Every structure is written in structure tokens, then in C-alpha cells.
A and B are shown apart, each in its own frame.
Chain A
Amino acid sequence: MGGMKKPADVDMLKGTLDMLILRTLVMGPAHGHTIAHVIEHTSENVLDVEQGSLYPALHRLEDRGWVSSYWGASENNRKAKFYQLTAAGRKQLVAEAGRWRQIVEAIGRVMGESLD
């Protein structure tokens, strides 16, 4: 039977998470745990990645061909699944980052005006 339906606002977050993951992978291949940590640390623990949703997002990105994966040895010698940015993923990241900036600027303008 169908799974529990998530609230609608998660969809926007999902898109954001995708972008964050792609951005993280620009620095090189990484496995899920590293990705989560990098996002948390660079955001200075503001963005707390829900680890359960990280993996479905990674798998989704892989299905779309934006990342590719391989099994390799991690820094402490565990077998881990590494994710790597593909050419298409890089393009997608540029597009999403552009759109993100537009939205942020637009929201900023709106918020700035209303605060006046």
C-alpha cells in the first residue's frame, strides 16, 4: 500500500537538497556520510541534513544521470558507495545555482521593500 504522504513544502526542500548535494560533489567524489557532514559543517550546523532523506535524494540524482556511483574504500578503510558529479550534473548545478540566486534576490527585494 502507498507510503505516508509528505507535506508539500518538502518538495521545495528536496530540490534545495539536490542542489546542495551537487555543490558538495564539485570538490570531488564522496560517500553519503561525508556529504551529510560537509553540508552540516559548511552551513555551520544551520542545515541539519535529515540523513534518511539524503540517500533517496542521492539515488534520485543518480537515476537522472547527474551523479554516478561506485563502491570504494573510505578514509577509515570501510567499503563505501562513492558518488561523483557527472558532466550533466555539473550543468544542472550551474542552472540550479542560477535559479537559486534569482529566487534569493527576488525574495530579498520583496523582504527589503516590505521592511521599509
Chain B
Amino acid sequence: MSLGKFFSRRKRDTEFAREIETHIAHEIDENIARGVSPEEARRQAYLKFGSARRVREEEWEFNTLRVFDDLWRDFRYSARTLWRTPAFALVAVIVMALGIGANTALFTVVRSVLLTPLPFKDPDRLIQLYEKSADNRHLYNYVAGGMYAAWKKQSPGIEQMGAYGLRTVNLSDSGGELPERAQWADGSWDLFTTLGVAPEIGRFFTASEDSPQGAPTVILTHSLWERRYGGDRNIAGKTIQLNSHPYTVIGVLPASFVYPDPHVQLWTALYHEEDPHQVQRVDVHNYFVVARLRPGVTLAQALSEVDTATKRVHMNHPTPFTSSSANARTLLDGVVHDAKTQLYILLAATTCVLLIACLNVANLLVARSASRRKEISIRASLGGSRIRLLREQVTESLVLALAAGAAGLPLAWMGTQWLIHSRPDLARVDAIHFDGTVLLFGLGMVALSGMLAGLVPGASFLRGPLLESLQETSRTNSSGSSSARLRKILLAVEVAFTVVLLTTAGLLLKSYQKLRSLDLGCETRNVLTMQFSLPDVQYDTSARKSAFFSVLLDRLHTMPGVKAAGLATSLPGQGYGGDASFSIPEHPAGTQTGLNAMIRAVDPGYFQAIGIPLLSGRAFEDRERLQAGLSTVIVNQSLARLYFPNENPLGKHIRTNIVGDANFEIVGVVGDTLWNLTEPKGPTMYFSILSGEWWWSSIAVRSDQDVSGLALPVQKLIAQLDPNLPISDVLTMEQSIGKSTLDANFTSMLVLAFAVIALLLAAVGLYGVLSYLATQRTSEIGIRIALGAQRSSVVRLLLFDGLTPAWIGLVLGLVGSGFTVQLIRNMLYGAQPLDWTIFTAVAALLLLVAATACAIPAWRASRLDPVQALRME
């Protein structure tokens, strides 16, 4: 039996009917020709043919697939039933569509980001290696060049190892394109072979190019090659300018190579770029290390080899900054690190919402099947099979789920697109795509939610006497008690899930609020920031760099609308910005190990411009430029407290190797600032940027009004000073903080949205159950009121009934939250997982919503006219 015949049987039947008609017409013609009267001719013709209907029906049956036919009938029956209650159907479909849509969208992201292997050869053998700082504060720390070299020699379990570092570069070429600042990575020559990629065009570095004496070479990423060089297939051998130095393009990476993140545009050779002395050191942590395990070697085995090698290096170079242990994780984990927890939290939240949605629909279906109890009982007693009744119920919920899927899958697609656009910083965001697997998952979700929502209420058909309900009348007050109990259980579970979502959202939100309200230690309102870096060809002397900074400052100060302007190599909140170890000549030599502070270079007006308080001493002065600027240092409060406890740091000295080993006199102490919102503040040293020893800087411009209007004028001003100098990261201070808290903001907002949906669903559920119970008990309430019961006691009676599942669910949910929040404790900043204010607020909110949802039907019931109620029978 073919499906084609099954679906075309209606057409075939009509054709058959016409064929029979023709046949009978011919027979009549023939009979008339034989001289029979037309009347008789017709009679005989029909008699001879027999039952046309029977033949047609037989053929129809023959063309029919039983299963399909039954399914189709159930389907139409369900669709008709649902059509009669459009409000119910619409609510159920919307609820499920939201659940299915959100869940499928998150699945798409989780699959692409966390589950799809990286596009490298045998990606399961690739790992990333790290140093572990002695105080365990940096579990996955950068690796020092000397350490990497030691690992390479002493880890037999590793087939190949490569390293890379990240930096930014000014990119220009003779093609007439504007100069730009690009993210740049320098990789060891064996990095690409370790990863197992082949170039799309040309070749990778050779070992001799990856050395200080090698010729300068560069490899382009596919996206840069397409964007800036128009996909020129003859690019290999051409020369481009990086920081005004000529580099020969030797190859282009394939499009699939988006590593370590989409921002990296070019690759140069590690040992050619880095300072040969620096790259040998074991205590300057700068690089990422990727390794390929030999077949059969586990991550733990390789880690123990590398760890031993680290300990050996530490013994030979026992400086405070030489790590004594190593760490490792899979390369995929290294790439996605932070995204993992976030995405799993969101996936869990959407699964919760989908579950709640299913429970809600199940709940609504229970209510409906309860109101159809009599019909069902009659059908069962007339011999209708229980399986058949169950099948009808499941079909009905499947029809709902299908409709929800039809709405939810486009929703999922839109959700995914939205996520890609709003989170371009997400790891592997380029790998996210919607495909057949996602569609299958969505259909699976549709089937699962349909089954779940249908089986729960349908299960009651399979057990218990159906006949009993025939004997029930609405005067027996126990009517429908078993289905009411089922609904209450469903509700309690629903409420419990809602509570878990609410507490999670509350905690994440609180943590985000804390993050946003943090004091960076400087002015953040109406501050515009941007970055640049001076190429060392044109700016080859300290004098030239210093002069540029001076002119730039002068021009900025006189610009209309600018209230204050300052330069710093790294602004508050813009990251670590480098550090240096030092000693204090005034202190006894033996007591000083591991003195270390972050470094910033700033201009004389910087502290005042950005509102960092000067606590004692003075700021830099204009005369402290070039050599004269290399004898003074300003420290922050943390440094003063940590290294000069109980003494005045002013006038003391700091000996450090910034530009050759030298002493710097401490001339001022300023307030602390945060370099990263989620990291504790640390000791910091400020030097004079006018010394000309620094070639990059951030500009901070402060204004009285909205500062974003100044972005263009400032850029134009810089273009006047040097038309070839690219500017990057033009952001207001608030935007740049927003960027760094995007993660927290995003996750907490989404979870909150899901929690609100869940709360709404729970409220709808509570309202539905209580309305139903109240209707069931109409006559009972009528009798009570007729016998003189107070209306308030009726309200109380019903409220108690409705709130029971709410508080049971609440208790369950609070206990569940207690466990759940432990899972997200890593994501919380400044918030305790067991924050009693959140738990109390959630409980109060939930009870309030529950009480409101229950109050309406209870109040309505209390206003029943007893006479009316009793007459309703």
C-alpha cells in the first residue's frame, strides 16, 4: 500500500464514481436499444451493476492505511475540540511555543559552542597548558617563554607543542586602504602543525623564519584577506606594513580557522617578534601553549609530565614569579572557558521553562478532561477502549505541541540570531548555525512535550474505575477529587521550578547590580576613551613620542567642549596593563621577595582629569619629561599600605627595571582604581608618559555634557596630527564598563526573563485550578451560604485550598534552590549563594502572586447567590 494512494484516495474515489456513472449510462443505452422502456432500462442497469456504493467503499478501504486513518481521525477530532476552545488552545500554544523556542535556541548555541569539536585534526588530542600561580589565584595563568621551552624538552607524552601571544598592531599597506589597528597574534612555527591545519594559500612559517634573524613574514586570516585584500589569490609574496615595518605575506589561513577568537587578524612568527631575552625568561608570563597528545596518552599523564618539568624549572630559578606547578585542560575548554557555565545555566533555565509550560498545559488538559468525565465514562462503559481514550488525549496535546513547534521553531531561529548579534564576544560565536540536527532536536522537543503534557492527564484513564464518576453528581462534594489532586501536585511541582528560577535570577541580578555599582576609583560619567599606538619607524626616539603626547594634550585641552583630558597607558577597568617587580632601597635587602606592582604611564594632568584623588605629595609636572621624567614615581594607596606600612612612602625610592635598572623617588600617593571589575585592586606604580618610553596610550576626555558627540572631533584632531595613525576602541567609560559586565548582564537578564515567564505561568495555573475547584463546589458553597456561612469563611476555605499547592511548591523550590545556587557560585560576584534576602524576597513575591491568582476566584465564589447556585442542577 503506497502513501500516494492513501493521500490521493479522495480523488480516485470521485473518478471511480464517474466511471460507474458512465458504465450505468451505457447499460441503460443498451437496454433501451433492446426496446425496453427507459424506466425499466434504468432499473435493470442498476440491478445488474449491484451496489455501487459497496464497491466504492471496498476500494476506499483498500486504499486506506489503518494507522494513518485512525491518526488522521484523532487529529481532526482534537483539532476540532481545540478549535471550540480557542482561548485555551491559544494560551497552551503560546506557552509551549515559548518553551520550545527558547530551549531549541539555547540548544543550538550550546551544541555549536560547547559540543561541536574544534575544526582541527583529531581535536580530542589537543590540550591547552597553563602555569598555576603559587597562591592559586590564577589557576590558568599565562606561560613564560622559558617555561614553554622547558616543557617542550621534558614531556614525552606530548607529540607536539606550540605557543602564541596576543597583541595589537597598526596595519597599513600601499593598497590605498585606511590604516587600521588590528588584533595580532604571534605564533611559534610549530603551532599550526600542532593544531593540524593546512594553509589555504601559501605556507606557514619555517623554523628559520621563527627566529630573531629570520625575514619578517606574516600569515593572514581568511577574513582579513577577504576584507582588506579582496581575496587576492596572488597575495603570497606581497609586502604589507605592520607598525610601519615591511612584512612579506607567506600564506592565508583557511576560513574555518577562527582561533583563538574572531578578533585575531594576522599571525607573525613568535621568536621573530619577541625580545630574545624576554622570551627566554621563566618568570615573565606572556604566552598561551597548545599541545597535541601522543595517541593513547591522557590529559592527566601529560599534565603530570609538564608539572614535573615546571617544578624542576622552579628549583633552578627560585624567583617569586616562577611557577611551581602547571595546569591543563582540553583545547575546547580553553577556548570556551567562561561561556560554558553561562550557557549551561541558560539551557537549564529554558528547560525549566519548557517543563513548566508542559506542566501547565497538562494542568489545563486535566481540567478539561475532568469536565468531560461523564462523556468519557459513558464511552468507556459502552466499550470504548481506555487506550483509545488515552490516545485521543495524547493526540490532543500533540496537536497543541505541533502548533507550538510551528510557532516555536521560527522563534528559536530568531532567538539564535538575536543572541549572535547581541553577544559577538561569545566564544566560537562564528560556529553557531541552525541546521537539520537543530530541527530534529526541535521536533524531538515537540514530541516530548506533547507526550508529557498528554500522558500526565491521560494516565488517569488507565487506572481507577471510570464508572464511578457516572454515579457522581455535583452534589457529592468529592466530585473530581482525584483529578483535583493531580492538578495540585502538578501545580506544586510547577511552583517549585518557578522558585528555583526566581532565586537563580535574583542572585545573578544582585551580583550584576553589585558589579555595576562598583566604584572604579575614578570618574566614569561623561568620559570618552580611545586608544592608539605610535609606530616605531616615524616615532623612533623618546623625544618624538614625548612631543606627540605633548602636542596632543595641548590640542585636547583647548578643544571646545572638553573639560579635562588625560593620557594613560591603561585606564581603570581596561585591564591588567602589565606589571614589574621592584625593590625598596631604604628597606633591608633580605626582607624583600616578590615585590610586584602593576605599571601605568600617565601625563601630569591625568589624575585630576579623570578624578583619581591625590592623597599626598604631588602629581607629575610638565618638566618631568624625557630623562627628567625617569626619576620619579607615583604609587597608589594599595602599594603604600602593602609595602610601606606605618611609614610615609614620600621621599622613599623604588628600584625597578623599566628602562634599565634605576631608582625612582616616590613623589605622590593616589587613590586606588580597579583594573577589572571582578578582580581585587592591587598595588600600582605610575610613571611619566612624557618620558617618551611608552609608545601606546589611551585617551580619556571628560566633558560637562554628553561626551559621545566629542568622538568625531577628537578623531579628526588626531588625524590632523598624524593622518596615518589609526584609533581604536572609541567608547565612553560607561560603555567600556558595560562591555566588561556584558556577560553578567546578559545571563542575569535572560534568566530573569525566564523566571518572569515561569511566574506568569504559575499564576495562570493557580488561577485555573482554583477557578475550577470553585466551579466544582458551586452547589456546596451555595448550601453553605444558604445555611448561614460567612462569606469571609468561604473565601478562607477556597484560599486555603488554592494556596496549599503554592506553599508546598514554595518549600520544595526553596530547598531545590539551596542546591542549585551552589552550581552557579562561580558566577556570583559579591553575592553569597545562600543570600537570605533573595530567598525571602522570592518567597514573598511568589506568595503574593499566588494569593492574587487565588483571590479572584475565591472572591467570586463568595458572592454566589445561593438560590442561583442551588438551581444550577
- Asked if A76 is at the interface (CB within 8 A of a chain B CB), the reply is yes
B22 engages A56 (CB within 8 Å): no
Task: With both chains docked as a complex, state the minimum distance between the C-beta of B51 and any C-beta of chain A, in angstroms.
Answer: 7
Task: Give the residue of A50, A55, A59, A74 whose beta carbon is less than 8 angstroms from that of B26.
Answer: A74
Task: With both chains docked as a complex, state the minimum distance between the C-beta of A101 and any C-beta of chain B, in angstroms.
Answer: 31
Contact size range, B: 20 to 34
- Asked if A33 is at the interface (CB within 8 A of a chain B CB), the reply is yes
Residue of chain A at shortest CB distance from B22:
A80
Task: With both chains docked as a complex, state the minimum distance between the C-beta of B48 and any C-beta of chain A, in angstroms.
Answer: 6
Set of chain A residues within 8 Å of B51, measured between Cβ atoms: 52
Set of chain A residues within 8 Å of B62, measured between Cβ atoms: 3, 56
Q: Considering the complex, which residues of chain B in the window 1-55 have a beta carbon less than 8 Å from any beta carbon of chain A?
A: 5, 12, 15-16, 18-20, 22-23, 25-27, 29-30, 48-52, 54-55
A81 engages B22 (CB within 8 Å): yes
Q: Considering the complex, which residues of chain B in the window 279-337 have a beta carbon less than 8 Å from any beta carbon of chain A?
A: none
A50 engages B23 (CB within 8 Å): no
Taken together as a complex, chains A and B put the C-alpha atoms of A33 and B29 apart, in Å, by: 11
- Asked if B58 is at the interface (CB within 8 A of a chain A CB), the reply is yes
Interface of B is mostly: helix
Taken together as a complex, chains A and B put the C-alpha atoms of A51 and B62 apart, in Å, by: 18
B59 engages A56 (CB within 8 Å): yes
Residue of chain A at shortest CB distance from B56:
A55
Set of chain B residues within 8 Å of A78, measured between Cβ atoms: 22, 25-26
Task: Give the residue of A53, A55, A79 whose beta carbon is less than 8 angstroms from that of B20.
Answer: A55
**Could you mark each residue 2-46 of chain A with 1 if its beta carbon is under 8 Å from any beta carbon of chain B, else 0?**
110000000000000000000000000001110011000000000
Taken together as a complex, chains A and B put the C-alpha atoms of A37 and B23 apart, in Å, by: 11
Given contacts A3-B57, A81-B15, contact A51 B26 (CB under 8 A): no
B49 engages A52 (CB within 8 Å): yes
Set of chain B residues within 8 Å of A32, measured between Cβ atoms: 19, 22-23
- Asked if B61 is at the interface (CB within 8 A of a chain A CB), the reply is yes
Taken together as a complex, chains A and B put the C-alpha atoms of A55 and B58 apart, in Å, by: 11
Set of chain A residues within 8 Å of B30, measured between Cβ atoms: 37
Set of chain A residues within 8 Å of B23, measured between Cβ atoms: 31-33, 36, 51, 55
Taken together as a complex, chains A and B put the C-alpha atoms of A107 and B598 apart, in Å, by: 110
Task: With both chains docked as a complex, state the minimum distance between the C-beta of A26 and any C-beta of chain B, in angstroms.
Answer: 21
Task: Give the residue of B15, B25, B27, B55 whose beta carbon is less than 8 angstroms from that of A56.
Answer: B55
Taken together as a complex, chains A and B put the C-alpha atoms of A33 and B5 apart, in Å, by: 25
Task: With both chains docked as a complex, state the minimum distance between the C-beta of B411 and any C-beta of chain A, in angstroms.
Answer: 42
Task: With both chains docked as a complex, state the minimum distance between the C-beta of B30 and any C-beta of chain A, in angstroms.
Answer: 8
**Could you mark each residue 420-434 of chain B with 1 if its beta carbon is under 8 Å from any beta carbon of chain A, else 0?**
000000000000000
Residue of chain A at shortest CB distance from B48:
A51
Set of chain B residues within 8 Å of A33, measured between Cβ atoms: 22-23, 26-27
Taken together as a complex, chains A and B put the C-alpha atoms of A51 and B49 apart, in Å, by: 5
B26 engages A52 (CB within 8 Å): no
Task: With both chains docked as a complex, state the minimum distance between the C-beta of A68 and any C-beta of chain B, in angstroms.
Answer: 14
Residue of chain B at shortest CB distance from A53:
B55
Taken together as a complex, chains A and B put the C-alpha atoms of A36 and B19 apart, in Å, by: 14
Task: With both chains docked as a complex, state the minimum distance between the C-beta of B58 and any C-beta of chain A, in angstroms.
Answer: 5
A3 engages B55 (CB within 8 Å): no
Q: Considering the complex, which residues of chain A in the window 59-116 have a beta carbon less than 8 Å from any beta carbon of chain B?
A: 59, 63, 74, 76, 78-81
Given contacts A2-B61, A3-B61, contact A31 B20 (CB under 8 A): no
A52 engages B55 (CB within 8 Å): yes
Residue of chain A at shortest CB distance from B66:
A2
Task: With both chains docked as a complex, state the minimum distance between the C-beta of A50 and any C-beta of chain B, in angstroms.
Answer: 7
B61 engages A50 (CB within 8 Å): no
Taken together as a complex, chains A and B put the C-alpha atoms of A36 and B59 apart, in Å, by: 19
Task: Give the residue of A59, A79, A81 whose beta carbon is less than 8 angstroms from that of B59.
Answer: A59
Taken together as a complex, chains A and B put the C-alpha atoms of A76 and B30 apart, in Å, by: 10
A52 engages B22 (CB within 8 Å): no
A56 engages B50 (CB within 8 Å): no
B26 engages A76 (CB within 8 Å): yes
Task: Give the residue of B5, B16, B25, B61 whose beta carbon is less than 8 angstroms from that of A55.
Answer: B16
Taken together as a complex, chains A and B put the C-alpha atoms of A27 and B20 apart, in Å, by: 23
Residue of chain A at shortest CB distance from B33:
A76
Set of chain A residues within 8 Å of B59, measured between Cβ atoms: 55-56, 59
Taken together as a complex, chains A and B put the C-alpha atoms of A80 and B19 apart, in Å, by: 7
B50 engages A50 (CB within 8 Å): yes
Taken together as a complex, chains A and B put the C-alpha atoms of A116 and B484 apart, in Å, by: 85
Set of chain B residues within 8 Å of A36, measured between Cβ atoms: 23
Given contacts A31-B22, A56-B58, A56-B62, contact A51 B29 (CB under 8 A): no
Set of chain A residues within 8 Å of B48, measured between Cβ atoms: 51
Q: A52, A53, A63, A76 — which one has the most chain B CB atoms within 10 A of its CB?
A: A52
A51 engages B61 (CB within 8 Å): no
Taken together as a complex, chains A and B put the C-alpha atoms of A51 and B47 apart, in Å, by: 10
Task: With both chains docked as a complex, state the minimum distance between the C-beta of A39 and any C-beta of chain B, in angstroms.
Answer: 14
Set of chain B residues within 8 Å of A50, measured between Cβ atoms: 50
Taken together as a complex, chains A and B put the C-alpha atoms of A91 and B272 apart, in Å, by: 82
Taken together as a complex, chains A and B put the C-alpha atoms of A32 and B27 apart, in Å, by: 11
Taken together as a complex, chains A and B put the C-alpha atoms of A52 and B27 apart, in Å, by: 13
Task: With both chains docked as a complex, state the minimum distance between the C-beta of A33 and any C-beta of chain B, in angstroms.
Answer: 4
Taken together as a complex, chains A and B put the C-alpha atoms of A114 and B302 apart, in Å, by: 93
Taken together as a complex, chains A and B put the C-alpha atoms of A110 and B731 apart, in Å, by: 106
Set of chain A residues within 8 Å of B19, measured between Cβ atoms: 32, 55, 80-81
Set of chain B residues within 8 Å of A31, measured between Cβ atoms: 22-23, 26
Taken together as a complex, chains A and B put the C-alpha atoms of A42 and B704 apart, in Å, by: 111
A74 engages B22 (CB within 8 Å): yes
Task: With both chains docked as a complex, state the minimum distance between the C-beta of B873 and any C-beta of chain A, in angstroms.
Answer: 39
A55 engages B55 (CB within 8 Å): yes
Task: With both chains docked as a complex, state the minimum distance between the C-beta of A53 and any C-beta of chain B, in angstroms.
Answer: 8
Taken together as a complex, chains A and B put the C-alpha atoms of A78 and B27 apart, in Å, by: 12
Taken together as a complex, chains A and B put the C-alpha atoms of A31 and B20 apart, in Å, by: 11
Task: With both chains docked as a complex, state the minimum distance between the C-beta of A41 and any C-beta of chain B, in angstroms.
Answer: 12
Taken together as a complex, chains A and B put the C-alpha atoms of A53 and B49 apart, in Å, by: 9
Taken together as a complex, chains A and B put the C-alpha atoms of A52 and B16 apart, in Å, by: 11
Set of chain A residues within 8 Å of B25, measured between Cβ atoms: 78
Residue of chain A at shortest CB distance from B27:
A33
Taken together as a complex, chains A and B put the C-alpha atoms of A110 and B742 apart, in Å, by: 96
Taken together as a complex, chains A and B put the C-alpha atoms of A34 and B59 apart, in Å, by: 21
Task: With both chains docked as a complex, state the minimum distance between the C-beta of B814 and any C-beta of chain A, in angstroms.
Answer: 56
Taken together as a complex, chains A and B put the C-alpha atoms of A39 and B5 apart, in Å, by: 29
Task: With both chains docked as a complex, state the minimum distance between the C-beta of A113 and any C-beta of chain B, in angstroms.
Answer: 40
A52 engages B50 (CB within 8 Å): yes
Given contacts A33-B27, A52-B50, A76-B26, contact A3 B58 (CB under 8 A): yes
Given contacts A3-B57, A3-B58, contact A51 B22 (CB under 8 A): no
Task: With both chains docked as a complex, state the minimum distance between the C-beta of B19 and any C-beta of chain A, in angstroms.
Answer: 5
Task: With both chains docked as a complex, state the minimum distance between the C-beta of A40 and any C-beta of chain B, in angstroms.
Answer: 11
Taken together as a complex, chains A and B put the C-alpha atoms of A97 and B552 apart, in Å, by: 106
Task: With both chains docked as a complex, state the minimum distance between the C-beta of B217 and any C-beta of chain A, in angstroms.
Answer: 69
Task: With both chains docked as a complex, state the minimum distance between the C-beta of B424 and any C-beta of chain A, in angstroms.
Answer: 59
Taken together as a complex, chains A and B put the C-alpha atoms of A63 and B29 apart, in Å, by: 30
Residue of chain A at shortest CB distance from B16:
A55
Residue of chain A at shortest CB distance from B49:
A51
Set of chain A residues within 8 Å of B58, measured between Cβ atoms: 3, 56
Taken together as a complex, chains A and B put the C-alpha atoms of A81 and B18 apart, in Å, by: 9
Given contacts A33-B23, A55-B19, A81-B19, contact A76 B29 (CB under 8 A): yes
Q: B12, B26, B51 — which one has the most chain A CB atoms within 10 A of its CB?
A: B26
Set of chain A residues within 8 Å of B54, measured between Cβ atoms: 52
Residue of chain B at shortest CB distance from A1:
B61
Taken together as a complex, chains A and B put the C-alpha atoms of A53 and B29 apart, in Å, by: 21
Set of chain A residues within 8 Å of B15, measured between Cβ atoms: 81
| Pairs A–B under 8 Å by Cβ, sample size 14 | A31-B22, A32-B23, A36-B23, A50-B50, A51-B50, A52-B51, A52-B55, A55-B19, A55-B23, A55-B55, A59-B59, A74-B22, A76-B26, A79-B18
Which 3 residue pairs are nearest across A and B when measured between Cβ atoms? A33-B26, A52-B50, A52-B55
A3-B62, A50-B50, A78-B25 are known; give 20 further A-B pairs, CB within 8 A: A2-B61, A3-B57, A31-B23, A32-B19, A36-B23, A51-B50, A53-B55, A55-B19, A55-B55, A55-B59, A56-B55, A56-B58, A59-B12, A59-B16, A76-B29, A78-B22, A79-B18, A80-B22, A81-B18, A81-B19
Interface positions of A (Cβ within 8 A of B) = 2-3, 31-33, 36-37, 50-53, 55-56, 59, 63, 74, 76, 78-81
